[in-house]
Chain A
């Protein structure tokens, strides 16, 4: 078709890659990304790795540097098992939110795949990491690698000094609380530089030296009634401990009575890593959608300009379709909504609405329909949204129809589901809102906070689980996690479940019972 009109040279031919080809392809794709889509990226560092190294990277949360822990070993053995059995392939790429942005390329990939990966990761993910507000505010791309390096050697030093078992015990307990170890509203401080970390030991030692428990046991001043005094103590205590506190790891790190300084530092490390990954969890659809949209658009442009062959294009399309495959709910392959597929479809839909809107689109999206500047709209969306707000803002009726989305109401007390909404006029808004809700990581996570602790009495730590929609915690893992909190706190821990709407107490569980 177009091929007769083509006069330009192919970027590469054949499936073998070499560094010269990779570099040529990168230059071309980068130029295209900046020119066509207006992307803005960190400098890129491409690393070629083997499949075993990819397995290694998988098992340590995808980071190039990680401290040692048995759970990463378990992940490795498990991934390796699946890979050996052929039950699961490996990702073609992996990309790290750092500056420079590190992209892993697998040596087994063909040249066509390497080009795809370059567009997907080095341009798409990279742009997203650099521009999305969550990543800008919450992660420190420049500092993360040196921080991980510090974490790794710090924990290794602890293992040398205190033995593997005690370090492992702290890490186990801290890992159990990773989900409850992030600040959702407060921005974390910038990762300290190496110099600041140098001063860490001195600080810890000073705290140890200057700690004096006497000051906390001063009797209440005389002249007040006993009741007043207790109330006042209670209020002061809550104020001084800044209760309630939703970041359990932070609370334990600062206030636990039994932890030694090195143990607090380990908890801090786990907490900082949890915080670093928090934006990723909130932007899965957008991040993958952005990368997929970028590689799809750039590859098609390259093909239209005759820079890649039909064979290479076919190979890329085959991989592309695998990635965005979305089976229906009754398909045996169904395992939830594919973030790549949803993200890509929504972004392409935004482009359609901008350039060729229907009357319905004009009703639903008066701001963007027919304005034609789909690039700016997308750049704006990538920069300023997370999954929840992105779906709430941009999921269109057309797409709901295309996906044939429907909503099931699931009440645990009833033996059946009820179809609450389907893809029709009455359902669009409800489906969109419910789907957006699902991507709200903060809301879909159990809401657990520290509400009180009696430091002068039995030192019992009191947690409160605010139960929304009657969703209780699963008993076995709850008890096991409470035991972990007890390990870190050192004294009894109890958790009360309170209904969010009525305020009624639904139950209480204490480590005395488990």
Chain B
């Protein structure tokens, strides 16, 4: 007699601990993958689920194994129909190893396909980890800043304060009609009849009539009791949906100098800054547009790929970008409907005398239109300790200093390494009570 044991009710996640250990192990790989995503993927893409391929490197388990491309071996195979001994068969793939026929060669390839699906939150966690966020702030960024309840129809459950009386009574009325609940008037009429009959001198037919009427009255009353006036099934509640606030549109202008001096490192830093800005804005606004403007001595609106991946040579005239931005605002983004944000990334070089023109453009036109204008100067890591705190710097930096003093919604900072980005971003977008769009 065998022993039978029903294990189905045992805890199922026996390998949970192993999975956690694996995730911990793969974390470096996942982070690298997210880093590559930031570098190569589009800005908006970061903010969603990702299937991340896990390379075997780092999670591989090496053992001593034979090199498939060395030595002499014999394969035994079933199903020969055509060969006789001494036949020569060319190797598949032009003479490389016996992989095609050999045993077990499939496993190596399939492990490469191993993909891991990360949730949006996990992606952001990994992204922010690279930026060295203090935990408190990470939470803030993730949350929708504030919500306002919005009416969204009716529901059959909810708090008593949300009962919608009109809708409830309409349901109750319909039900009363359908179930033919006796009306008070009917009862009153019968009671009245009984009273009248009783007032008259008693006779045999009258007594019978009274008894019949009483019985009818009794039946109606019982029926009324059974069919409630307002039944729990009638009750409807107002339904509210949380709605993010402020509920409006925003446009984000990304301005970048793409002349030869902006190398891969500079663009990577700029991109990280823009990604962060985009994440921040998508949390606050229902709809967000991104406009990419790049410039050398000419400025042009381009798509994201061109913006980040093409360099051009030529002089640097920053004001052209500001002019282009102004033109686009006039054309497409009326200030009454759009919140306008701008972020400018540059290494600070500018055509002699053009910085004056920039100041003028910003001061006269753009700063009035913008909710916020951030200027990020990307400097060499070696320069960071020199320029870190001083007012000295490139011509653009010195010129912008004037704007910085005058307009509270203008901010400027310097960035030298990925780890600088978040603190700078935080300074730029910290809640500043006095900050409002100047009319």
Contact = CB atoms under 8 A, between A and B. Distances in A.
A372 interface: no
Interface residues of B, number: 66
A76 to B, nearest CB: 5
A327 B78 CA distance: 8
Contact of A404 (B5, B24, B79, B86): B79
B103 A477 contact: no
Contact of B64 (A74, A168, A327, A473): A473
B252 to A, nearest CB: 38
B48 interface: no
A-side interface mostly: mixed
Interface of A: 19, 22-23, 26-27, 30, 43-50, 52-53, 55-56, 59-60, 68-74, 76-78, 81, 100, 107, 122, 164, 168, 172, 175-180, 326-331, 335-337, 403-412, 414-424, 426-427, 431, 434-435, 437-438, 446, 448, 465, 467, 469-478, 480-481, 484
Given A43-B2, A438-B76, A71 B61 contact: yes
B19 A417 contact: no
A446 B18 contact: no
A477 B72 contact: no
Contact of B76 (A23, A435, A484): A435
Contact of B7 (A47, A71, A435, A474): A47
Given A327-B79, A405-B80, A419 B85 contact: yes
A96 to B, nearest CB: 13
B65 A72 contact: no
B85 A426 contact: yes
Contacts of A431: 76
Contact of B66 (A49, A405, A472): A472
B114 A180 contact: no
B73 A176 contact: no
B3 interface: yes
A77 B111 contact: no
4 cross-chain pairs, A with B, having the tightest CB-CB distances, nearest first: A328-B79, A73-B22, A73-B18, A415-B95
A260 B350 CA distance: 63
A481 B5 contact: no
B178 interface: no
A446 B65 contact: yes
Interface in B87-122: 87-91, 94-95, 97-98, 101, 103-104, 106, 111, 114-116
A329 B83 CA distance: 12
B208 interface: no
B114 A474 contact: no
A415 B97 CA distance: 9
B69 interface: yes
A472 B65 CA distance: 9
B89 A417 contact: yes
Nearest to A481: B62
Given A176-B62, A410-B98, A53 B76 contact: no
A283 B53 CA distance: 36
B226 interface: no
A414 B22 contact: no
Interface centre among A53, A100, A412 (most CB of B within 10 A): A412
B61 A403 contact: no
Interface string B7-44: 11010111101111111110000000000000000000
15 contacts: A30-B2, A48-B4, A53-B8, A60-B18, A70-B21, A70-B24, A72-B18, A122-B2, A179-B64, A328-B81, A417-B91, A423-B80, A435-B76, A478-B64, A480-B60
B5 A47 contact: yes
B63 interface: yes
B200 interface: no
Contact of A336 (B24, B94, B98, B104): B104
A335 B19 CA distance: 29
Nearest to B73: A410
A465 B71 CA distance: 14
B7 A412 contact: no
